[in-house]
Structure 1
Amino acid sequence: MKSKLSYTFVNNIEKIGQALWQEMAVGTNPFCQYEFLHALESSKSVGPDTGWHPHHLILYKNNEAVCLVPLYKKNHSYGEYVFDFAWANTYKQYGLNYYPKLISAIPFTPVTGGRILCRPNTDQTELVEVVCQVTSEKLSLDGLSSMHWLFVEAQTSQRLAVQQQLTRRSVQFQWFNRGYATFSDFLATMNSRKRKTIKSERNKVFQAEVTVERLTGEKLHMANMDFFYHCYQQTYLKRSGHTGYLTQDFFKQIFQTMHHNLLIVEASMGGQPIASALFFYDDKQLFGRYWGAIVDIPQLHFECCYYQGIEFCIDKGLAEFNPGTQGEHKIMRGFEPTYCYSNHQLKELAFHEAVGRFIKTEDIGIAEYKQNAESLLPFKKLTDDRL
């Protein structure tokens, strides 16, 4: 098979085209879809001016595309959520350049999903081997320091590890739908104290005379997206001093092309919107992405970003809810710790081995953190299927 394979790299997803990309992306989450990645590029949320240079890989067999890999050359490590700043600093101390580097990731989106895309029912084992060979050659040819696979699926991570790609674990918190018919059914699985806390938090929002609405489909209008974007900018200004990585044009495009994947939770007071949270969803999972408010109401963040999302999953029969990265405060609200995986190859062997030793040491703490988080879950009894 290898002798019949060829490949090319392209700097614009439009050169691949929607039809081919979607053929390979069947079954992946909304962020792996052509519409999402195309919106990032065409809105200039990613591109040379942002330090994210699209460099997607197409693998061919007998002149027919058999595999796609979303790739980017990076001039920095921002917007990735798998932190390697210490590695970059060490490179600098030794007079070496860590940037540019090559990554396979969804920009600004710490969500596990497909990174080596191929047609359904394709055995990825050999494709992973070939892709690793191609990207290794790319490091030398283009003067890149390293290759990074971020938020890959567990099975893909295992296959990459076979190809000597270092495996690094991190922890996120997810909510799992165990056949709940109502939000009350979910609360019934918790111990009394936590159950009362959640009820109290929700009551405080409604006692403040705040109305919260879930908007999808025909109920979701561009005006809702515009208000959300205003909230998004305000949140980034307060937290980071800039207006966010994603442009307004990006949100306009996904409103047009991914309307069926969007949920906005909008809070209002006196008939005027005061807060907004943006989610993506498919037929399996809900993904919380961004939030902002122009009025500070106690507990409103938890209501809009967590409890409304849980209710949406129950109503739609969705199996999982990924509310976003970080946040131990999610534990007491029923979000359970889960592993995320990344894989890494550094071109300089000595640094590759040193990073491997660092990851082994780091992983001891990661495992302890996950175990401690599990011990804090609010459920009456932690059943085996939550491990």
Structure 2
Amino acid sequence: MAKMSLRLIPSLKDIPKAQWDRLANPAGQPANPFLRWDFLYALEATQCVDGETGWQSLHLVAEDADGALVGAVPLYLKSHSLGEYVFDHGWAHAYEQAGGRYYPKLQAAVPFTPVPGARLLAQDDDTRTALARALCSVAHEVQASSVHVTFASGGDIKTLSDQGFAHRIDVQYHFQNPGYENYDNFLASLSSRKRKNLRKERARAQQGLEIVHLSGADLASEHWDAFFAFYQDTGQRKWGQPYLTRAFFDHIGQTMAEDILLIMARDNGQWIAGALNFIGGDALYGRYWGCTEQRPNLHFELCYHQAVEAAITRRLARVEAGAQGEHKIARGYVPVLTHSAHWFGDSGLHEAVAAYLDHERAQVEQNVITLDAFTPFRKSAPDLSLPSKGE
């Protein structure tokens, strides 16, 4: 392996955007918008991370002899376990009850974003292995108790497992598009009763409303003003305090407009609800929803049904609608496994968590088999080949 040096950087502004993006979204592979320099730097530039947020940027980078970036990990030193969607509060409580210090810890992730993707950003296996090993060294260096690599790709999980990380799995619900020509084609794949239920649900949700899809140059400040009010309402109810600032939405609206699909509902000229999606190379990613006026089934309409229609129209292979939610199954979303990897400096804690995760994985895998039986599809529905974006 060529000579390589590793270091920590406190901000992505210290790394050329083009070099980061070349590793995060290699040419010829479907793009993941959340790994883009623009998205991660937007979190830093608008104070969603760093400062008093409990997320301190501490990215790990690998450079060749000429100083060019050859590897990277989006990494954060954390003083809590909020905004991660892979829950370790029980581990933290047990360890501290036993006299240990769980925080700070290291989190290799996209903050506030439960979207699977690469975390060891590199173009060759040797560099990925070097990054995985370095994570443990960094934990010792910054006196972190542990390293948590969440929503990682399958390749990253293998590399991390080979370095002694414990493997955890969980379940999300994704819509899979096997090549539907239109939404009616999708409905035809459902059982008669489920198809009828979805039509009734959608008709009730849409009654009296105008639903608008906004992307690119169509996005304006009035839309972000309305959506931020929706987001604040959801954030205050779910988390007590929203994670993202108003400035963040302006920032991504300026730098990532073509990657955004904002689905909004309007009643008599007033915006009352919205769902924010990001457009990837082969997927539509549903991220945030909110409303200022409660309407029956409107959450399902904007977040799930409209997203399915948009994915089919854009010839995208799937919709990833965020964490949790067995209610998504009835709306055509199927259970999919997600993966994370965990390492602890205390060998006793590491062994205890690894043993627990062995048991948990078996339970989750059995749960997926059970959930799969409740999908709404006709048993004779055809298995069509997956399209690529733009085909």
Counterpart amino acid of residue 109 in structure 2: A
RMSD: 1.6
Report the secondary structure of 1:59's partner residue: strand
Counterpart amino acid of residue 378 in structure 1: P
Distance 1:137 1:84 in 2: 21
- Provide, for residues 44-81 of structure 1, a one-character-per-residue CA deviation record: whole Å limited to 9, x for no partner: 00003101000001112324321011110110110001
Equivalences for 1:288-367 in 2 at 5 Å?
288-367=286-365
- Provide, for residues 128-164 of structure 1, a one-character-per-residue CA deviation record: whole Å limited to 9, x for no partner: 3211221222222221111111000112111211111
TM-score, normalization by structure 2:
0.94
Distance 2:326 2:69 in 1: 43
Comparing 168-177 with 219-228, which one deviates more in the overlay? Answer: 219-228
Counterpart amino acid of residue 31 in structure 1: F
Distance 2:135 2:240 in 1: 36
Task: Give the direction of change, closer, same or farther, for the CA distance of 1:140–1:217 in structure 2 (3 Å limit).
Answer: closer
Deviation at residue 117 of structure 1 after TM alignment: 1.4
2:47 pairs with 1:44: yes
Equivalences for 1:35-114 in 2 at 5 Å?
35-63=38-66, 64-114=68-118
Report the secondary structure of 2:367's partner residue: helix
Distance 1:71 1:162 in 2: 20
Counterpart amino acid of residue 306 in structure 1: Y
- Provide, for residues 202-243 of structure 1, a one-character-per-residue CA deviation record: whole Å limited to 9, x for no partner: 11123x31111111123322211111011101122233333x
Query: Are the counterparts in 2 of residues 212 and 265 from structure 1 also a CA contact under 8 Å?
Result: yes
Query: Are the counterparts in 1 of residues 189 and 378 from structure 2 also a CA contact under 8 Å?
Result: yes
Q: Counterpart of 1:130?
A: 130
Query: Are the counterparts in 1 of residues 75 and 106 from structure 2 also a CA contact under 8 Å?
Result: yes
Distance 1:277 1:319 in 2: 20
Report the secondary structure of 1:350's partner residue: helix
Deviation at residue 19 of structure 1 after TM alignment: 2.2
Structure with more of its chain in helix, by fraction: 1
Report the secondary structure of 1:151's partner residue: coil
Distance 1:262 1:290 in 2: 12
Query: Are the counterparts in 2 of residues 217 and 260 from structure 1 also a CA contact under 8 Å?
Result: yes
Distance 1:385 1:179 in 2: 6
Distance 2:100 2:237 in 1: 35
Deviation at residue 364 of structure 1 after TM alignment: 1.8
Equivalent pairs counted in the alignment come to 379
- Structure 2: 5+ residue stretches without partners: 386-391
Equivalences for 1:1-387 in 2 at 5 Å?
1=1, 4-27=3-26, 28-63=31-66, 64-118=68-122, 122-123=123-124, 125-206=125-206, 208-242=207-241, 244-381=242-379
Distance 2:168 2:282 in 1: 26
Query: Are the counterparts in 2 of residues 214 and 308 from structure 1 also a CA contact under 8 Å?
Result: no
- Provide, for residues 274-307 of structure 1, a one-character-per-residue CA deviation record: whole Å limited to 9, x for no partner: 1111110123110001111111110111111111
Deviation at residue 383 of structure 1 after TM alignment: 7.0
Deviation at residue 250 of structure 1 after TM alignment: 0.6
Distance 1:320 1:238 in 2: 29
- Provide, for residues 79-116 of structure 1, a one-character-per-residue CA deviation record: whole Å limited to 9, x for no partner: 00111111111110121101001111000000001211
Identical positions, percent: 38
- Provide, for residues 327-371 of structure 1, a one-character-per-residue CA deviation record: whole Å limited to 9, x for no partner: 000001110111100001111111111101110111122112111
Distance 2:7 2:142 in 1: 14
Distance 2:302 2:20 in 1: 33
- Structure 1: 5+ residue stretches without partners: none
Distance 2:317 2:49 in 1: 31
Report the secondary structure of 2:231's partner residue: helix
Distance 2:217 2:134 in 1: 45
Distance 1:272 1:141 in 2: 53
Distance 2:263 2:129 in 1: 43
Counterpart amino acid of residue 222 in structure 2: A
TM-score, normalization by structure 1:
0.95
Task: Give the direction of change, closer, same or farther, for the CA distance of 1:385–1:339 in structure 2 (3 Å limit).
Answer: farther
Report the secondary structure of 2:150's partner residue: strand
Distance 1:135 1:340 in 2: 21
